[in-house]
Structure 1
């Protein structure tokens, strides 16, 4: 299967002054990042950015019904990803509790849904037997949870197979290898920088 390869350049804010300048220049519509410059547009709001990219690169289903399924799956995965994204900012005394919450939600609420979907239709991808934005979101969530709970897929054979297939797709395989633009899990320096940039 042929997959597109999109080149991009990432720029990370390091100082509050950089953030304030973007706001002053009127670039951040809602005074929030991320900001993506694409096709002559300066886009904000993660959902809008990702749905535009998915549509542009034919990762958003063939019709409204498939798009609705992709949207449902993406929204569900986003709920789980939000917990993972906020985890590094947990107070030290809450980290263990929050990690338990991630594990519980992943194994009891979110991963069973996708295990069932893949088992019922017996296809490699979540929607329409074609690679979509939902597949990208799911493999990202699986990898992110596994970084914190290594055995999380032990009871999900369909998701194990899905992870293997996705990880071996040429563009994803390249992205997961060392030296790619993929970032490691946030460390203390990352948390410190975020707090410094966005302090009020």
Structure 2
């Protein structure tokens, strides 16, 4: 695995999935080391490679990076997916963080005490707070910022697919987003990532939740 990017996380989506998406679009091959036990996690802690005692952790270019936004920004900068100048980059970052806020809500559903209530809240916020922003931004441009593909576009696609898994037809009132989604999935690297057998992870199941509980030794529900 020398010289290759290595991802340290669970065998599931979580916060690492956006990193997988972005590496895929950048056409960067990567390997994965899955955390399955508390002992593995303690080993990473004792080795001093988790700055804030958290994963995801990504080995890239001789570094061991933590913190999802920092990792995404590094990949985006390295592979020209972060806008052409400072003003573009701040717009990319605003869109990205909005998308991440929404995706993080979805990520927490399996750990919630009342998943249905949580999903109802997410659906309302998606339709009233988040999706209208992107619908307006895509009223003319092909991409969100500067007329070129950025990490914000990749994350928006990931998010819309997650939403449709939970809420059938949620994009019916957002035709610009739906058209954007259709364009994005035609990008060859993305099209391959959406095929069976790719490194894209499925929706979280009971096994995924139990693994996280085991690794971090936590009690459910956590919300």
TM-score scaled by structure 2? 0.85
The superposition leaves residues 78-120 of structure 1 with CA deviations (integer Å, 9 ceiling, x where unpaired) of: 11011011011112xx11101101111111100100000111x
Residue 44 (1) aligns with residue 66 (2): yes
Residue 187 of structure 1 corresponds to 205
- Partner-residue secondary structure (3-state), 1:11: strand
Moved over 4 A (4+): none
Count of residues in correspondence between the two structures: 194
Residue 129 (1) aligns with residue 151 (2): no
How does 1:69-88 map onto structure 2 within 5 Å? 69-88=91-110
2:35 to 7, 10, 13: 13
Residue 161 (1) aligns with residue 204 (2): no
- Structure number with higher strand proportion: 2
The superposition leaves residues 37-65 of structure 1 with CA deviations (integer Å, 9 ceiling, x where unpaired) of: 00000000001100000000000000000
Q: What value does the CA root-mean-square deviation take over the aligned residues?
A: 0.9
Note the residue ranges of structure 1 that are not aligned, 5 or more in a row: none
Q: CA deviation at 1:151?
A: 0.9
TM-score scaled by structure 1? 0.95
- Structure number with higher helix proportion: 1
Residue 193 of structure 2 corresponds to 175
How does 1:83-162 map onto structure 2 within 5 Å? 83-91=105-113, 94-119=114-139, 122-162=140-180
Q: Relative contact order (C-alpha < 8 Å, sep 6+): which is higher?
A: 2
Note the residue ranges of structure 2 that are not aligned, 5 or more in a row: 1-24, 219-223
Q: CA deviation at 1:150?
A: 1.6
- Partner-residue secondary structure (3-state), 1:9: strand
